[in-house]
Amino acid sequence: MIQFRNLSLARGAKPLVEDATLQIHPGWRVGLTGANGSGKSSLFALLRGELHQERGDLEMPAAWVIAHVAQETPALARSALDYTLDGDAELRRIEDELARLEAHHDPADGAHIGELHARLHEIGGYAARARAAALLDGLGFLPADLERPVADFSGGWRMRLNLAQALMCRSDLLLLDEPTNHLDLDAVIWLEQWLRDYRGTLLLISHDREFLDACVSHVAHVENRRLTLYSGGYSDFERQRGERLIQQQAMFEKQQREIAHMEDYIRRFRAKATKARQAQSRIKALERMERIAAAHVDTPFTFSFRDAPPAPDPLLAIEDGAVGYDGKTILTGLALTLRPGERVGLLGRNGAGKSTLIKLLAGGLALSAGRRTDGKGLATGYFAQHQLETLRPDESPLQHMVRLDPAAREQELRDYLGGFDFRGDGAGGTATPATAPCGSFSGGEKSRLALALLIWQRPNLLLLDEPTNHLDLEMRHALTLALQDYEGGMVLVSHDRALLRATCDRFLLVDGGRVQIFDGDLDDYRDWLAARRAEAAAAAQCPDRAADKAARKADRAQAAAERQARLAARRPLVKESEQLEKKLAGWQGEKQQLDTQLADPAFYANPDPAQLQALTRRQAELAALIDEAELRWLELAESLEALAVDGDA
């Protein structure tokens, strides 16, 4: 197990964790949470042996294999598949040793070669390439990407390769620091399932509450330099922490009442000789008293969207549109209308075209076919990760705001930036200085600044492509609340399901070059993804069987169509047959009564010639009707038999 005993940790002169005592047992999945800068990543560095505690003890099994995600990826010529396989160090050692021994062809090495092959079998080495390919597929890589050199991939995709390499390691302890930052929703859902099946000990830093809830069994929270362990997922942690804060606040208020009472006694009686001893006793008691801190849960983020200009209705419309890059069509048959107040989430597998669609809506791409109509007064606000690169590294948040709105008062801009935790001039505190150049900002600080600039412009159509990357839980919560109150239209791409659930009214599925309404929620989308993966896996394992399955599916579809056609042809015949049966029953009953009446001798004792003639004529009419109906009924029966459908009696 991992055990902390009275452990204190610092970075330089800054204390991070003090007197931490806790145990993490093998197989536990622990989410490590806390504000940015509270020491979460430093605790990971401590576990990897890159930092040492100031005092106290850290105990963990020396033989444990520790896996973590590298933060840098060199521009290697190695293929993505080989780079992933490098994550299993023992596998690579065995492969290298076998290659060396087998190249020498020394008979004396035969026993050692046999031992190496046996070990290779034990660790699943013969299936390692298949496992690595499955990891890359789950993380969104295409089959054609497996042999591409690492150097060909962009920064975000290289981070996915680093994650795949860490997952490939047969580790005892897996350390993951914000693994979902560079993933889209389908990869997050896949990783969530992979981590649930992981058999080692997991420590996970994440700002995605649903991801934490699905993956962890405990939460270790860093707050006020204290490390506290809670049982359960993130939602359980929030509830338990809330209850603890309520209890702490009640104890604080009780202690404050006791302190006030003692101070009042001291103030009134310390000068009186008869009460001086009791007053001095209370003074010493106050000095010895361990003060309880007030519960503090305030978020540093408080912002909302400014009132947008009047919005046209519709905001924009696209008819029979198509869009793509470099002559290649990505999406076609686009028919989309966005209205004020509408909140749309985009779903779809990696590479399906979600970002392409949102760039089109933002005006960054033009239609290659079809027609787009923008409403008069449309004001679009677009957020995407690449826009962080447009920030001027030598300018501060305040300078960016002044450049955006030179007419605004500086104090108004400072107050506004304070809601995004850009405060003061850096003289102290934990907030990011509003006057510091943003070139040295973290990804989260840059994202906050980009959002602040976007919101100030008062858009009536928000287009957000992964806005929560690098944002901590508090900022995500503040953004969620602001979006819930936002009155304009919104289109959102995000891997944060909590944000999607809280802010989107409907979903569009981008798949197969088309955009269509997705009739379901995020749980239905998870099931849709699982079904697609199962189909792809079956096709990859056995192309012939997949082809047979496709043929059988086509046959079933054709049979179903033929069945529907037969059913459609049978319906009027069945209806006519049923009507004939009813008429026949009535005619036969009436004729039977006439036959009985005309066969009765008493009827002729005093006959009425007119009545007799009418009854005889009706008897002949009924006989003719019955004969004609029975003939038609037989024809219908033959036709229905020819159109028989499986299951008909």
Gyration radius from the chain CA atoms? 38
Give, rounded to a whole angstrom, the gap between the first and last alpha carbons of the chain.
Answer: 69
Q: Which amino acid is at 463?
A: L
Whether the model pTM is above 0.85? no
In a domain? residue 191: yes
As a whole number, mean pLDDT of residues 211-220 equals 93
CB 392 within 8 A of CB 438: yes
Answer with the one of 232, 256, 275 that is the final residue of a domain.
232
In a domain? residue 303: no
Could you tell me if 267 and 344 lie in one domain? no
Q: Tokens 């998870």, residue?
A: 526
DSSP of 558-582, one letter per residue? HHHHHHHHHHHHHHHHHHHHHHHHH
Distance in angstroms (rounded) separating the CA atoms of residues 299 and 237: 17
User: Distances in Å between the alpha carbon of 341 and those of 308, 311, 312, 525?
Assistant: 12, 9, 11, 24
CB 42 within 8 A of CB 18: no
As a whole number, mean pLDDT of residues 420-442 equals 75
Could you tell me if 524 and 442 lie in one domain? yes
Q: What sign has the CA pseudo-torsion 190, 192, 194, 196?
A: negative
pLDDT at 409: 92
Per this entry, what is the length of the chain?
Answer: 649
Residue 529 confidence (pLDDT) above 80: yes
Could you tell me if 91 and 194 lie in one domain? no
pLDDT at 99: 87
Coil, strand or helix: which one is 491?
strand
Comparing C-alpha atoms, which of 511, 220, 208 is closest to residue 350? 511
Residue 428 confidence (pLDDT) above 50: no
Distance in angstroms (rounded) separating the CA atoms of residues 574 and 637: 9
Distance in angstroms (rounded) separating the CA atoms of residues 169 and 436: 41
Span 244-260, pLDDT tens digits: 777 777 777 787 888 88
Span 536-591, pLDDT tens digits: 777 666 655 555 666 666 667 677 777 777 777 778 888 888 888 888 888 888 88
Answer with the one of 151, 169, 187 that is the final residue of a domain.
169
Span 227-241, pLDDT tens digits: 999 999 888 888 887
In a domain? residue 504: yes
User: Distances in Å between the alpha carbon of 155 and those of 138, 161, 523?
Assistant: 18, 10, 30
Residue 297 confidence (pLDDT) above 60: no
Could you tell me if 135 and 280 lie in one domain? no
Could you tell me if 84 and 226 lie in one domain? no
CB 488 within 8 A of CB 460: yes
Could you tell me if 499 and 439 lie in one domain? yes
For 273-326, the three-class secondary structure string (H helix, E strand, C coil) is CCCHHHHHHHHHHHHHCCCCCCCCCCCCCCCCCCCCCCCCCCCEEEEEEEEEEC
Strands 226-231 and 380-383: unpaired
Could you tell me if 418 and 458 lie in one domain? yes
Could you tell me if 155 and 177 lie in one domain? no
Buried b (16+ CB within 10 A) or exposed e, 615-641: eeeebeebeebbeebeeebeebeeebe
As a whole number, mean pLDDT of residues 399-404 equals 92
Distance in angstroms (rounded) separating the CA atoms of residues 217 and 232: 5
pLDDT at 464: 94
In a domain? residue 294: no
As a whole number, mean pLDDT of residues 111-125 equals 88
Domain that holds residue 566: 546-643
Answer with the one of 143, 169, 195 that is the final residue of a domain.
169
Residue 324 confidence (pLDDT) above 80: yes
Share of the chain above pLDDT 90, in %: 41
Distance in angstroms (rounded) separating the CA atoms of residues 226 and 245: 14
**Using 50, 70 and 90 to split pLDDT, how confident is the model at 425?**
low
CB 140 within 8 A of CB 186: yes
Span 37-46, pLDDT tens digits: 788 999 999 9
In a domain? residue 352: yes
Q: Residue 125 burial by CB count (10 A; 0-12/13-18/19+): exposed, middle or buried?
A: buried
Least confident segment among 154-158, 249-253, 464-468: 249-253
Q: What sign has the CA pseudo-torsion 193, 194, 198, 203?
A: negative
Phi, psi of 353 (to 5 degrees): 125, 15
pLDDT at 553: 66
Distance in angstroms (rounded) separating the CA atoms of residues 566 and 544: 32
Residue 218 confidence (pLDDT) above 80: yes
Could you tell me if 328 and 377 lie in one domain? yes
Could you tell me if 49 and 113 lie in one domain? no
**Using 50, 70 and 90 to split pLDDT, how confident is the model at 649?**
very low
In a domain? residue 16: yes
Helix ranges (H only) for 486-542 are 497-503, 522-541
Phi, psi of 482 (to 5 degrees): -65, -40
Could you tell me if 272 and 407 lie in one domain? no
Comparing C-alpha atoms, which of 148, 163, 141, 142 is closest to residue 73? 163
Distance in angstroms (rounded) separating the CA atoms of residues 39 and 430: 13
CATH of the domain at 431: 3.40.50.300
pLDDT at 645: 58
pLDDT at 550: 62
CATH of the domain at 617: 1.10.287
Phi, psi of 214 (to 5 degrees): -80, -25
What average pLDDT does the structure give for the chain?
85
Distance in angstroms (rounded) separating the CA atoms of residues 229 and 521: 33
CB 629 within 8 A of CB 583: yes
Share of the chain above pLDDT 70, in %: 92
Could you tell me if 189 and 156 lie in one domain? no
As a whole number, mean pLDDT of residues 599-615 equals 78
Q: Give me 421's structure tokens.
A: 């935790």
pLDDT at 432: 77
Least confident segment among 68-82, 96-110, 124-138: 96-110
Of residues 123 and 541, the one with the higher pLDDT is 123
Q: In what order do the strands lie in the sheet with 66-68?
A: 66-68, 173-177, 201-205, 29-34, 218-223, 226-231
pLDDT at 602: 77
Mention every residue, 6+ apart, whose C-beta is less than 8 A from residue 570. 640, 643, 645
In a domain? residue 69: no
Q: Tokens 């009765």, residue?
A: 600
Of residues 101 and 509, the one with the higher pLDDT is 509
pLDDT at 229: 93
**Using 50, 70 and 90 to split pLDDT, how confident is the model at 427?**
very low
Give the chain's domain count: 5
pLDDT at 591: 85
CB 221 within 8 A of CB 244: no
In a domain? residue 430: yes
Question: Is-cis flag, bond preceding 607, omega within 30?
Answer: no
Distance in angstroms (rounded) separating the CA atoms of residues 363 and 361: 5
